[in-house]
Each structure stands twice: as structure tokens, then as C-alpha cells.
Structure 1
Amino acid sequence: MRHASYVGKSADFFYRKLSEFRKSQDTLKEATQMTSSSLLASYEVSLLVAKSKKPYSVAEELIVPAAAILAETMLDKKAADAIKTVPLSNDTVCRRIDDMSADILAKVVEKLKRSDCFALQLDESTDVSGKSQLVAFVRFKDTDNITEHILFCKPMLARTTGEDVFNVVDSFFTEHSLDWQRCSHICTDGAASMMGRTRGFLARVKQVNPGIKTVHCIIHREALASKRMCPKLHEVLNDAVKIINFIKSRPLNARLFEKLCDGANSEHQQLLLHTDIRWLSRGKTLQRLFELRDQVNDFLSEHLHSLAPLLKNNSWLAYLAYLADVFSRLNDLNLELQGKDTTVLHLYDRVSGFMKKIELWCRKCQNGDVSSFPQLDMCLVNVRAEKVSILQTVQAHLDKLSSEFRSYFPDIEVHNSALDWIRNPFVATCTQTVPVTLQERLIDVSSDRGLKIMFSETSLTQFWCNVEKEYPDVGKHALYELLPFGSTYLCEVTFSAMAHIKTKQRNRLSLERNLIAAVATLHPRMHKLICDKQVQISH
């Protein structure tokens, strides 16, 4: 007989045992539910750590203790004890980030396989440990809009030739069953390994997909177009850099100059170093030097520097003022070209507008009017004898700048006018570059008042995604032109994130998973990840 010891017990005894059993079940359920919540919290906090680009140990060393103190102070000790059960050790956070980045990548790949075509953006840079990292972003139509996502960050183990870059990308495509034929556009910088006609990456890609279109980063082209100057202005720039380096490259001089500026109640206390690889460097450097010219003059004169007389030379100051003005304008253009979710049409519009401004400045300068450059205009008052020579130099530089922009953007006006129907189908007339069948559909679109209302309320890409649902042929054609990346801005921003993530103290870090979690716009499927994990107490 089983449970012979319970023979003869009263009914109250068995009711009490049943009650105890049910209470133990409730306790078990409560504990399990609490640890499930802590597992979700572990993933969410780990994602925050990845987004902040901080070391994994910050969760266990700072976040959990701080949260526990806040909970105990604002709530009670029970809430603080519950927070301490969240597993956030260094290794745990690492595993969580790996899980989430893998899930994000899986989502992107799934979306790519469902899309008709996609565009790539590629660039390569070197991290703090000396390894070359190749970063790729992808752009495709997702449901009702065009979206951008990071695709991978792969180390280049040996050389960085076009063939090596192609092998890395091709291996990724093969691993994830992606078809090269669906890749319609690729945007890269102007490096020879990327743009080379015979051995470059793009030439290698065209062997597997001859119909692919390539885009040279518009921001890089803008920087290249503004790089060349006449000898006189180049000399002024070099002298300005020498003056700045004399002050900034010596810590004692930097401290003394800061004290001098502070005593003069200057708006700024330091000069800015010139770095040629930074897009905005020249404009900011020259502008700061011009603003602090009086303080720099006093400092150089006190130290008997050979370049001190330049700060008293009104002609040299006029050239410096012009360089500060014109590069500030170029910086404004550069900033307009930066940003996420931009289209090639938008970037070309900005460049086209700037080219027209250069033509306006040229015409005004021929008549002696430099009001577009206020600092130069102010300095010309003090150089009446050399005003003609200065204006001739300015005119020559503006002509050269206009010529360089036309060289790097040869077909910008033709490209813009041919695609006006995409910018606004309700105003632009049908273009001859569009087939007759699409022109007929475009007439239908322009006559649809409902779409006209939608056009004013949504972004351009969203509008054409909605048009595609009713008019697939014309919508698909418009989206094809809106799909390519116009610049490698996203890669450049990611390299900045890479510099924060992989530091001297973390130089052996495996970068890809951390970078994907840090810069991805997609949110990982937390509940899917939790279902695959066993609930455990904090460790």
C-alpha cells in the first residue's frame, strides 16, 4: 500500500496538504516569472550598452549598482533585490550582443531576399589595432518605404585590392544566399582599389553583374573639387597651417595662448588643427584663425616668430579672409550632403544649387562686388592699392572652382532635368527619356488627386512606394532611380563608431557584432531570443 502512514488521517489533514502544494506551485511560478523578466531586462540593457559603445563591464560595475540604489531609495529593498537578479556580467553582455546582432542580420537578410533589388554602399578603413575593416550598408524597398541597414563589417586579413574586397563581399553573398543580379547599384569612394577600370572592385563586380550601376560618393567628389587652389592661395593656406602648428603642437604655447585669449575676453580660447582627411577641417581652421588674428599677432610678435609680420599684412589677411569665407560656404554644402535616408536626387540638387552660386559669385566679382564674402569685403577696405590684384586672384579661384565642379559632376544638369518627373510628377512634364507606356501611366498619376494630396503629406520615397501599389510599372521605375546611395556617409559615421568601440584598451575585440548592434536601426526580436534561452539566476 502506498502512503501507508497517511491511513486514518482526517479530511482536514489532506485539505491542508493540498493548500501547501498549491502555494508551492504559486511560489515556483512567481520565481520563474521574475527570472523571465530579468532575462528580458538583461537583453535590453545589453542593447543599451552596445548603443552607447561602452565596455561590457559597465553593466555589472555601474548600471546594476546604480539601478539597485535608485530602486532601494525610491521604492524598497525588495525592488533593489529584484534588479540584482538581472544577469549582466561581462561575458553575459557579450553573448547577448552577439545574439541580438545575429538576429538583426538575419532580419536584414530575410528582407533582402524578399526585395526585387537593393543597393550597396562600401568603404574601408583601419581600426586602432591596424586591421583593415570593410563596412557595407544596404538600401532596399521595405513594405512602404526605402530603408537603410548595416550589412556587415568584415576584417581584410591581407591586402585590400579590388579582388580582395570582391572576395569578402562575394563570400558574404554566398553564405547568405544573396544574388548578385539583385544588386542594382554600388556606391564607393574614389579609391583605386574600388574604382579601378581593370582590377578595381567595381570592375570585378561587373563581371558577375554587367548591368550594375556605380556611384562615386558625391561628398568625396565635392571635397576633391574644392581641393585645388592657385599658388598664391595655397601659399596663404600653408602659412596659416604653420602658424597654427607653432601654437597647437607645443603644449606650453597652447596654454600661454589660451591664457592670452582669456585675458582678452575672446569668444574662443584655442585654434583648431588642420587635418586634411576631415571634410570640414579647412573651413573651421581658417575661420578660427581669422577670428583670433589679433591674439595670434600678439602671441607671434611676443615670441619673435618669422611669420608674425603676416598678421599685420592687410593683403595677406584679405586672402585669409577669402579662404575662410569660401571654405565656410563649402562646409555648408558638405553638411547639406550629409545625413541618413537621403536620395541621389536630393544630393544632386544641393550640388547644382552650389554650382549656380559659384557662377553668381564670379559675375559679381568681375564687377568688384564681393558682398557674398563678408570677411573679405571687410578687409578690402584696408587694401585699396592691392584690391585689383586680390580680386583677380579671387576671380581665378572661383573660375577654377567652377571648372572643377563641372569636371566632377559632368552630367548633373542633364541628370536633374531628366528626373524632374520623380521629384514632382504633378508639375513636371513627361520626359522623352521615359518610354511611352510609362508616360501614359505618369499622366494617370498626375491626374490622381488622391495621390496629389498624399504627395504633400509623405516623403518622396514613401510616395512612390504607395504609387507602386496602384501603378507598378511607373512606381518601380521611379523607385529604381531613388534606390542608390549618393554617398558613403553611413560608412564614415560607422567608422567614427568603430573608433569609440575598438580602443587601445579593447584592441582585440571582435568588431562586427558590436558594430551591428551599435548602429543598426532594426530592433532585435527579443521574445524570440528569450524563447531560445534557459532562464537562469544572475551570473
Structure 2
Amino acid sequence: MDKWLKRPVALDPGEGSADPKTRKKETKRKPRQYNDNYIFFGFTSTSADLPQPQCFFCGEILANSAMKPAHLQRHQSTKHSGSIGKTEAFYKRKLSEFRSGQTVMMKATSVSSKALEASYAVSLLVAKSKKPHSIVEELILPAASVMAEIMIDKKAADTLKKVPLSNNTVSRRINNMSVNIIGQVVKKIKQAGQFALQLDEMTDVSGDAQLLAFVRYKDVSDINEHILFCKKLPGKTTGGEMFQVIDSFFKEHDLQWNTCSHICTDGATAMTGSGKGLFGHIKKVNNDIKWMHCIIHREALASKRVCPDLCAVMDDAVKMINFIQSRPLNHRLFETLCHENGAEHEQLLLHTDVRWLSRGKTLLRLYELRNEVFMFLKEHLHPLAVVFEDANWVARLAYLVDVFTKLNELNQSLQGKESHILKMYDRVKGFTKKLELWERKCDEGDVSCFPLLDAHLATTDVAWGPVVKLVKAHLSKLSMYFSQYFQDIEKNSERLDWVRDPFIVSESSSNLHARLQEHLMDLSSDRGLKIAFAEKTLTEFWCDVKKEYPELGKHALFELLPFGSTYMCEVTFSALTHIKTKQRNRLDVENSLVTAVSTLPPDLSELIKDKQAQVSH
């Protein structure tokens, strides 16, 4: 015990002398510099700011303090005694060989890192093109090598072959990029605080039910929307099953249900049911969440029903088209007939009820080729050929073409990315006003709003009365259906006028808290913000306003946050059908789909940093 007590105690850096004035100030040692004569000991110098001696026989690097002849000579005599006393030429040759080896190693490392980066870049292109992963190994890499050899030289072609691009490698790269993208999205969602969901479900080519989710959140300078996941439903497509899939994803990524403010789906019972539906399950964990029925889906439902007389015309049209298009011989003969007559089009379009634009496009093409269709049906003794001789029937066809063309225009105006709900409400509101206008014009006997019908009535002796009466009855029912499916437009549209244009302080702001109304008045008097309002989109403007008026901006962005439709899901399902085909029916589509449709690029530098760079053999 006494032996340990007699040990000297280590002093702190600030200690060493009882009187601070007597302490010696420590001075920094001057770094030792390399001398050319050290080559005779087998040493060169590193290129670092603090030069260190490096043995060019074994590659060992010593400390800067060892840059002394005695230390270097000791290393040579103990480890490389056979090199003592050699000529200067010997040492220079060994140094040259050592530096050459270093250059080769650096080049190999550089090629490996570039090959890894190229592997990720090409894999991203494959994912975006929605092509099979094997296309790189089978086509892209051989084609690139051939082009490089012809345009540059064989050495360049051999370098390209070092990029690892096998089928399995590309699959791994796409999986890594997908995980990285979702990680970025989840991080942005957490930073935003609140987000809205868009959900839809479909059955793919292999019979698997896929649940697709998009998220909408406030980013730094705008509201962004992005794919969140595409998960396979393990069993039935019930609300409970869908909720379990979404809830598992939320728990995995530490997302909270109380930060989800809105959800947009179609009107299917499995989605909207208040008991066993998905929305009912979500309400149990977040009672404040709001549900939005897809506006495009509602528009399609409202325009789907037509009166029996017009429905009969539609049925006749479909039968004619199927007779010509569904039989290869008839299709070829009709195409020849159109070509000989110099028609603008040479084939009809098939009608598909689930494609909402199909009805208008199909009827328009039939009306444009009505003379050729009449000739063809008459030549083949088809019973429906006589309908083209009935001016009333053609008049009804012309009206259907006109009205469904207008409905298609409305449908297309509701589509598109990053379209906020207020803009979609305005489009629907504008169309309902047009319906009222068309009804009034029909009362006056004016059908000029429907150009094809108007032209047909002007060139034939068909009685106007019955046709106009039929048109007015259809417009009246169409207006009624739109009112039923869009009951929330009147309530929400005027209430949010202050969000549309905050510089016109109207009665719509009266439902705001007094403090928010004060902020709105300050905002409406700011000429700088008024200039910004004219130059930016509505969502960008309110993101800027939130920096100056946080409470008012947050309230406005909450109204702009929800999805107005399931357009993003529908478009992505089209991409899914390109990725998962009959030939790739066992593919787990999520990672490929996320990487393909993502607008957020993967962080390649982060991915490469965690991977070991290796070239292909």
C-alpha cells in the first residue's frame, strides 16, 4: 500500500508551479522539414501540411518529430539493412517505383468510386424509364461499350465495362434509392408538422391488391406532394386491412396520426365507411381528421347519368364501333375505306366505361367519321345503318358529342399535379354557372353553345322543338346531379375568399378570430406583399406570408393543404402497370415505383458514402 502512495501525482495542465508568474510559457515546436539527403536512408516525405517521413521500401509513415537522420537511419538498419550503402541511382529507382505504385492505387480507387457513382446513376435512369432491371446488362452496357470503342478507343470501352450493372446490382441500387427517398420525405413531413394524405387501391396484373399513398406537406417555400408508399394488402381490401398497413408504416417511421389533418379517397365504402371503413378506423385515432371525396371522381359520377333517349343513342354508337373495331377484317376494310375517301381519321376509338374521357372522345370520332361508318354499315347490311338517315338521331349524337366534350374539358382542368382545392372548386363552380346559362339559352331556342348541334340543325330540316326540349331536360338533370355531388362548394367557396385574394378584405373573413382579422388587414395594406401575390402561386405566397404573419399564414395553409382529388394515385397506377407486367408478375413493385415516380432525387452522395467502391470483373 505504501509503495502506491509514494507515486508522484500528475498535475493538471494549469498546474506545475505555485506562482503563475514563474511558470514557463510553452512554445510550439517548429515542424521539421524534409532534406533531400534523407533519400539515402530510404525515406521520402508526405505532401501533408505537416510533412512526415515515409519509407519508400515498406510504406511506413513516421511522425514529424522522427524527421532526424538518427531516427531514419535506425529504421533503415533495423528493417531494411540490405539497402545500406547502395548507390544514389538505386535509391532513386526505388523511390520512382514506390510513386508509380501509389499512382496505380489512386487510379484504381478513382475508377472504383466513379464506377459506383455511375452504377447508381444508370440504375436511377432504368427506374425512371420503368424498364426491366436486366436491360442494362443486356442492352445499355453493351451498346455503350460499342459506341465508346468506335467513337473513342478500346480502352474507354474496357473502362465502361468496369461499372457494376448486373440485374441484381441494379435491383439493389433501386432499393437503396427508394429507401433514401422515403427517408427524405418522412424527414420533411416531421419538419412540416402537418400533412394530408391521398389514398387509393387497385389490383395489379398478378391479382395483388396494392394500396398507394401520396402525402402533401408544407416545405420551405411551397406546398409539395410526394409518394409515401405502395404496399401490398395481405388479405382482403377492407378498411381494417388498409388501416393496419398505413398504421404499421406510421409506427415504423415514427409518424403521428394527430399530425395528419386531411385524407382524400374515392367514394368506395371500404374507404369512406364510418364504422368498418378506413375513415372510420382513422377517426378512432384522430377524431379531428377531415375527409375529402375526390372532386374528379364526383364530376365523373355526376355526368354519368343520361336520360333514356340519349342513352339509346349512346348504346347504338357503342354497338356500331364494336362491330367495326372488334373484328380484325372489318377494322382493315374500314381503314381502307377511310383512306380512299380522304378522311381525316382512319379508325374509330373503342369505348371503355372506366376511362372517364373515353365517352367524349369516342363519340367525337364517330361523329367525324359518320359518313364513312354509314357507308360501311350499309355495305355490310347492318341494321343500325338506318339511324344515320334519321336526322333526329344524328342531332342527338351531335349534342352528346358537344356536351361530353365540355365535360372532358372540365375533367382535364381538374387534373394535374400541385393543384390546390380552391382552384378545383372554382372550376366546378364555373361549370355549374355554364349549365344555368345553357338552360336559359335553350328556353330562348338558342343552341349556339353547342356548335355541332347548332350546325346540324342549321343544315337539316329537323324539328327544333323536340331536340331543344331534350337538351334542356338533360342539362336540368346534369345541373341537379352536380348540386348533389358538390354541396360543399357553396359553403366552402365563399368562406375562403380571403385565402384566394387577401387584398380584398370581404365578408368571408368575418368567421376568423379578431386577431387574425387584424393581421389580414395589415397584410392587405402591404404593397410589397401585393406585388409578391401577383408574381407567385397562391401556395408560395402564403408560405412567404407565414414568415411575417405566422398565425394567419398557418391558418391559410391549413385550408390549402388537402388533396382535391386522387389524380396522383391514378397516374401512378398507370406507371405501375408499365412496371409490373405479365413478364414481371412476381416483382415487389414498391421500390421500383417509388424511384420511378419520385420528384425528389435520391441523395447519391449519401448512398455512395456508405458503400464500398468496387469495379465489375
TM-score by length of 2: 0.86
Q: Gapped runs of 5+ residues in structure 1? A: none
Q: CA deviation at 1:4?
A: 4.2
| Corresponding residue to 1:164 among 226, 238, 241 | 241
Q: For residue 551 of structure 2, what is the amino acid of its counterpart? A: D
Whole-angstrom distance in 2 between the partners of 1:6 and 1:197: 88
How far the C-alpha of 1:62 sits from its partner, in A, is 1.7
Q: Which of 589, 598, 609 is the equivalent residue of 1:511? A: 589
What's the counterpart of residue 465 of structure 1?
543
SS in structure 1 of the partner of residue 510 of structure 2: coil
Is 1:180 paired with 2:254?
A: no
Tell me if 1:57 matches 2:171: no
Deviates more, 1:132-141 or 1:373-382: 373-382
- Matches of 1:385 and 1:86 in 2, distance apart? 73
Determine if the alignment matches structure 1 residue 214 to structure 2 residue 295.
no
Shift, 1:382, TM fit: 5.1
Compare CA radii of gyration and give the structure with the larger one: 2
- Residue in 2 that maps onto 1:525: 603
Distance 2:614 2:522 in 1: 61
**1:478 pairs with one of 549, 556, 559:** 556
Supply the distance in 2 between the matched residues of 1:162 and 1:237 (Cα, whole angstroms).
36
Code of the aligned partner of 2:427: R
Amino acid at match of 2:157: A
Match of 1:313 among 390, 403, 426: 390
The answer to whether the aligner puts 1:370 opposite 2:482 as a matched pair is no
Alignment of 1:55-204 (within 5 A): 55-204=132-281
Structure 1 counterpart of 2:371, which letter?
Answer: D
Letter of the 2:616 partner, please give it. Answer: S
Alignment partner of 1:152: what SS?
A: strand
Structure-1 separation of matches of 2:505 and 2:294: 27
Kept after mapping to 2: 8 A contact 1:314/1:382: no
By how many angstroms is 1:225 displaced?
0.4
Do residues 296 (structure 1) and 361 (structure 2) align?
Answer: no
Letter aligned with residue 360 of structure 2 = G
The reply to whether residue 440 of structure 1 matches residue 512 of structure 2 is: no
- In the TM superposition, residue 385 of structure 1 has moved relative to its aligned partner by 4.7
Match in the other structure for 1:45: 122
Preserved CA contact (<8 Å) 2:128 2:595: yes
2: CA distance, partners of 1:399 / 1:32? 74
Larger CA deviation: 377-386 vs 452-461:
377-386
Cα distance in 1 for partners of 2:234, 2:334 equals 45
Residue 266 of structure 1, aligned match among 343, 348, 351: 343
Contact persistence 1:315–1:383 (CA under 8 A): no
AA paired with 2:607?
L
The CA deviation at 1:81 is: 2.0
- What is the CA deviation profile of residues 124-168 of structure 1, one whole-angstrom value per residue up to 9, with x for unaligned ones? 011110111000000001111110110000111211111111111
Q: How far is the alpha carbon of 1:7 from its aligned partner?
A: 3.6
Residues 302 and 485 in structure 2, CA contact (< 8 A), matched pair in contact too? yes
Instruction: Name the counterpart of 1:35.
Output: 112
Query: Cα deviations across residues 238-295 of structure 1 (Å, max 9, x unaligned)?
Result: 1111111111111111111111111111111111111111110100000000000000
Distance 1:361 1:428 in 2: 33
How far does residue 69 in structure 1 lie from its aligned partner after superposition? Answer: 2.6
Task: Please give the alpha-carbon distance, in whole angstroms, between the structure 1 residues aligned to 2:136 and 2:462.
Answer: 67
Query: What one-letter code is carried by the residue in structure 1 that aligns with 2:432?
Result: M
Cα distance in 1 for residues equivalent to 2:603 and 2:459: 67
Q: Which has the higher contact order (CA 8 A, sep 6+)?
A: 1
SS of the counterpart of 1:432?
A: helix
Question: In the TM superposition, what is the alpha-carbon distance from 1:76 to its structure 2 partner?
Answer: 2.8
- Partner Cα separation in structure 2 for residue 357 and residue 78 of structure 1: 68
**Structure-1 separation of matches of 2:609 and 2:339:** 60
Preserved CA contact (<8 Å) 2:402 2:453: yes
Residues 120 and 185 of structure 1 are in contact (CA less than 8 Å); yes or no, is this contact kept in structure 2? yes
Shift of 1:110: 1.1
Q: Percent identity?
A: 60
Tell me, what secondary structure is at the counterpart of 1:160? Answer: coil
- State the distance in 1 between where 2:293 and 2:340 align: 48
Letter in structure 1 aligned against 2:257: W
- For 2:460 and 2:512, the matched residues in 1 are separated by 56
Contact residue 85 and residue 538 of structure 1 kept, 8 A: yes
Unaligned runs of 5+ in 2: 1-77
- The answer to whether the 8 A contact 2:505-2:524 is kept is no
Distance 2:377 2:243 in 1: 52
User: Which of residues 491, 500, 504 in structure 1 aligns to 2:569?
Assistant: 491
Match of 1:14?
Answer: 91
- C-alpha separation between the residues in 1 aligned to 2:232 and 2:505? 47
Distance 1:4 1:187 in 2: 80
Partner of 1:235: 312
In the superposition, the TM-score normalised over structure 1's length comes to: 0.98
Q: After superposition, give the CA deviation of every residue in 1:482-504 in whole Å (9 maximum; x if it has no partner).
A: 00000000000000000000000
- C-alpha separation in 1, matches of 2:527 and 2:149: 60
State the alpha-carbon separation in 2 of the partners of residues 40 and 460 from structure 1: 39
Q: What is the match of residue 285 of structure 1?
A: 362
- In the TM superposition, residue 6 of structure 1 has moved relative to its aligned partner by 2.7
SS at match of 2:304: coil
Structure 1 window deviating more from structure 2 (129-138 vs 12-21): it is: 12-21
Q: Which moved more, 1:402-411 or 1:74-83?
A: 74-83
